[in-house]
Amino acid sequence: MLLVSPIALAADAFDYQHGTSYLEPLKYPADFKHFEWANPDAPKGGLLRAPEMGTFDSFNGILDKGRVANGVARSGEGALIYDRLLESAIDEPASYYGRLASGVWVADDFRRFAFQIREGAYWHDGEPLGASDVVYTFRLLKEKGAVGVRTALRELGSIEKIADNEVLFTTKPDASGNPDLIFQVGGFSILPEHYWADRDITKTTIEPPLGSGPYKVRDYDLGRNVTYERVNNYWGTDIPVNRGRYNYDLIKYDYFRDESVMLEAHKGDVVDVRRETVSKNWVTAYDFPAVKAGYFKKELVDLSRPWGLWVPVMWNLDVPKFQDIRVREALALMQDFRYTNRVLMYGFYDHAKSFFYNSKMASSGLPSDKELVLLEPWRGEIPERVFTTAWEGNESDGFGFPREKLKRSLELFREAGYEIQDRVMVDMETGAPFTIDFIMVSPFALRKEIPFMSNLNMIGIKTTARSPELSNWLYRMRNGKWEGAQNGFAPGHVPGIMLRNRLSTQSADSQGGLNWNRVRDSAVDAMIDHVMAARTPDDFYAATHALDRILLWNFYYIPALGVPGYRLVYWDRFGQPENKMRLQRPIWQDAWWYDPTRAKRVEDGIAGLTGDH
C-alpha cells in the first residue's frame, strides 16, 4: 500500500505530510536535514564536463519532437533548470519527499492527492512560483505533452488550485486509484505560466527557457555542447532534499556521434566523468598511464535499482512474420548468450532471465498460488508453459552451437511454414526468402549481434544490419520502419506507468508511443493493471511475476545481457560523500563536488606523464 501518515480532513483542510512512499514506510522523519548520501558541507565551485551521445536541436522537453538538450528534461535528475514537486530518495525503494512541495496528502483510495507549495520559491526572473504554475503545467502536459507523458497522466482527471499555495489532483471517475500516478505527477518539471503565455510551447525552440532550478543555461553551440551555470541565489539551496547537492559552478555537456571518439576524448581529458557502455572497452581500454598512476579511476558501482534487460533484441510485431510465436521462439533459440558474452563481451555480463532482473519483481521457478489467481483466467490465451515450466532462458556452455537447439529451431520454423531450400530459409507456400533487417543504436550494439546474425545466416536467413545516426534511429523506431532492433528495458521500483508506456496496447496504437515493437496482448494489459492496482507487497510481486512470465514465454524480446553494475570512469578531481551507500543511481552529477587539491594533483600528474611542464 501507499504509506503516508494518517490523514485528518477538517472541512477543506488536508493533513499534509513531508513525504509519501509505496509498500515500505518512509526512512526520513519530518525534521530531517539532508539525505544521508549527500554531504551538507560540500563546497561549491569548479566545472564538471560530461559527454552525451547524439545531438540536440531543442530546449523544449515536453514534446516528442526534436532532440532535447540534456539539462532541460521533463523529469528526473536531468532537469537541471527546473524544480519538481517531489524528490525521490534514491537510498529507498520508493519514497518521495517534498521539494517544491512542502507537504503532500494522499487519500486512502489514492484517487485524490494534494500538494502544498513551498513558500519562497521563485523563477530565475524573480517572479514567484506558485500553485497557478503547477495547475498550468499539468493541464498543458495532459493536452499537449509527449505521448509518453499523456499516457502517464491518462487516469488524471481534474487539477484544481484550492488555495494560493495548494493544488488538488483528482483521478477520472472511471479510474482506479494508482500510487504510481502520484509519483509521476510529483516528478514532472514545473513550467512557468507567465513565460509561456506569449510563446508556442507546442513547437521546438532553441531559446533556453526560463526555469526555477539550481542551474540555468549559460551558453551553447547547437547540437555540439551546452553549458549550465549554477544559480547563486537559487531559492531551494537549503531545503532538506537539496542540501549538499548541485555543487558545481558549471556543468558542460559535449555531444559525440561515436563512442570510440568519446572514449578517446575522455582519455585526452576533454571530459571528466562518464559511464562506460562497452564491455570490451571496460576490460581493455583502461590501462593507460594515468590509470596506473591513480589520476584516472575505474569503478564498478553496485546499484540497488532493477537493471532489467540490457539492449535485448526485439521484433517489430507489425511485421507479419514476427506475429507467429513459433517464429519468435525459433529465432530466440539461435542466439547464444554464453558464446557472445565469452567471446565479445569478455565475460562481463550476467545472463538476465527476467524483465525485472536484479529485483524482487523478477519471476523464478513455477507460479505461486497468488500468481495463479491472476494467470488462470488467461489459460488458453497465454502460452501453456507459463503454468508448467520454469523459464531458464536459452542456455549453452558457450563453446559451439548446441545441435539440439538448432534442431528445435528448424522444427519450429517448419511448423510456422518455413523451411530451408537450397540453403535459403523460405516460405513454403510462396517461396519468398525469410530475411531480417536490423537497425542498431550504435556500432557496438551492432557488433554484439554479429554472432546471432551469423547463426541466422547458418540456417538460411539473410540478415542486414546498420547503425544509423541517432536521430534517424529514433525516427525509424518511433515510426515502425524496422524489423529487428535493440532497446533497453529498465523498470524502476514503481514500474506501472513505464510498463503501460512500453508494453500496453494503448501505447502501441498511439502515434509517438514508446511501445515501439507494438506488443498488443490483452493478458499483458491485464497484468499491468494488476501491478498498478497492487496495495501490498505480496499483491505487487505476484503481479510483476505473472507479467514477467507472460512476456518471457511470448518471446517478444530475447533476454540476454544482465548488467552486474554501473561502469563509472572518471578523472579523480572530485570530492565524494564519505557515506558510501547502495543507491538507485550514481550521484556524480548532483552530489559530488570539485576538489581543487585533487584537481591540481591530476593536472600536475598529466603534465608529468606527457612531459608538458
CATH code, domain with 146: 3.40.190.10
590, three cell numbers: 548532483
Range of the domain at 160: 2-32+56-196
Task: For residues 96 and 109, give the distance between their C-alpha atoms in angstroms, rounded to a whole number.
Answer: 18
Give pLDDT, residue 12: 55
Does pLDDT of 590 surpass 70?
yes
Instruction: Specify the pLDDT at position 1.
Output: 45
Q: 177 pLDDT exceeds 70? A: yes
Q: What is the mean pLDDT of residues 434-448?
A: 92
Interval 498-504 mean pLDDT: 93
Three-class SS state of 471: helix
In a domain, 369, yes or no: yes
Are residues 151 and 93 located together in one domain of the fold? yes
DSSP code for 321: G
pLDDT at 13 over 90: no
321 and 470 both lie in a single domain: yes
| Per-residue confidence band for 69, with pLDDT thresholds at 50, 70 and 90 | very high
What percent of the chain is modeled with pLDDT above 70? 98
Distance separating alpha carbons of residues 70 and 225, to the nearest angstrom: 10
Decide if pLDDT at 496 tops 90. Answer: no
| Crossing angle (nearest 10°) for helices 496-503 and 179-187 | 90
Residues 299 and 328 in one domain: no
435-439/484-486 β-pairing: parallel
- Residue (of 231, 192, 185, 186) closest to 209 by Cα position: 192
Is residue 214 one of the residues assigned to a domain? no
How far out from the chain centre does Cα 18 lie?
26
Start-end of H helices in 85-164: 131-144, 147-152
Whether residues 436 and 400 fall in one domain = yes
347, 353 in Cβ contact below 8 A?
Answer: no
Higher pLDDT, 2 or 578: 578
Mean pLDDT of 282-296: 96
Residues 504, 602 within the same domain: no
What is the pLDDT at residue 442? Answer: 87
- Look at 47-56, 171-180, 291-300 and tell me which has the smallest mean pLDDT: 171-180
List, as one string, the DSSP characters of 404-422. Answer: HHHHHHHHHHHHTTEEEET
| Confidence grade of residue 465 (pLDDT, cut at 50, 70, 90) | very high
Q: In the numeric block, which cell numbers belong to residue 303? A: 546499484
Claim to verify: residue 373 and residue 330 sit in the same structural domain = yes
Q: Are residues 25 and 89 part of one domain? A: yes
Q: How many CB atoms lie within 10 A of CB 562?
A: 19
Instruction: Look at residue 49 and tell me if it is in a domain.
Output: no
* DSSP-derived secondary structure letter, 175: P
Question: What's residue 330's pLDDT?
Answer: 98
Chain-centroid distance, C-alpha 109: 28
Q: Are strands 2-3 and 574-575 parallel, antiparallel or unpaired?
A: unpaired
pLDDT of residue 278: 87
What kind and span of H or E run contains 267? helix 259-267
Contacts of 407 (CB under 8 A, 6+ apart): none
Closest Cα to residue 304, out of 99, 31, 88?
88
- Whether residue 215 is contained in a domain is answered as no
Residue 158 lies in a domain: yes
Note whether 270 and 392 are same-domain residues. Answer: no
Mean pLDDT of the chain: 93
**Mean pLDDT throughout 370-390?**
98
What's the CA gap between 67 and 70, in Å, rounded? Answer: 9
Confidence of residue 3 (pLDDT cuts 50, 70, 90): very low
What secondary structure, in 3-state letters, does 19-32 show? EEEECCCCCCCCCC
Statement to judge: residues 293 and 396 lie in one domain: no
Residue range 391-417: mean pLDDT, rounded: 94
* Average pLDDT rounded to a whole number, residues 56-84: 91
| Model confidence at 419: pLDDT above 50 | yes
Is 441 contained in some domain? yes
Q: What's the pTM value of the predicted model, to 2 decimals?
A: 0.84
Let me know whether 12 and 73 are in one domain.
yes
Least confident window among 125-134, 332-341, 394-403: 394-403
Q: Give the residue carrying C-alpha cell 566545472.
A: 47
Write the CATH number for 408.
3.10.105.10
- Binned at pLDDT 50, 70 and 90, residue 5 comes out as very low
C-alpha cell at 229: 551555470
Does residue 125 form part of some domain? yes
595 and 530 assigned to the same domain: no
Helix, strand, coil share of the chain (percent; to 5)? 30, 20, 50
The pLDDT, as a whole number, for residue 180 is 86
Helix, coil or strand: residue 163: strand
Considering the domain boundaries, does residue 421 fall inside one? yes
Q: What is the pLDDT of residue 7?
A: 37
Q: Give the total number of structural domains in the chain.
A: 3
Question: In terms of domains, do 494 and 379 share one?
Answer: yes
> Does the pLDDT at position 9 exceed 60?
no
pLDDT in tens, 551-566: 999 999 999 889 899 9
- Sort residue 84 into left (φ over 0), alpha (ψ -120 to 50) or beta: beta
Q: How confident is the model at residue 77 (pLDDT cuts 50, 70, 90)?
A: confident
Whose cell is 569478455? That residue is: 346
In sequence order, the 6+-apart residues with CB closer than 8 A to the CB of 96 are 19, 20, 21, 86, 87, 88, 89, 104, 183, 186, 187
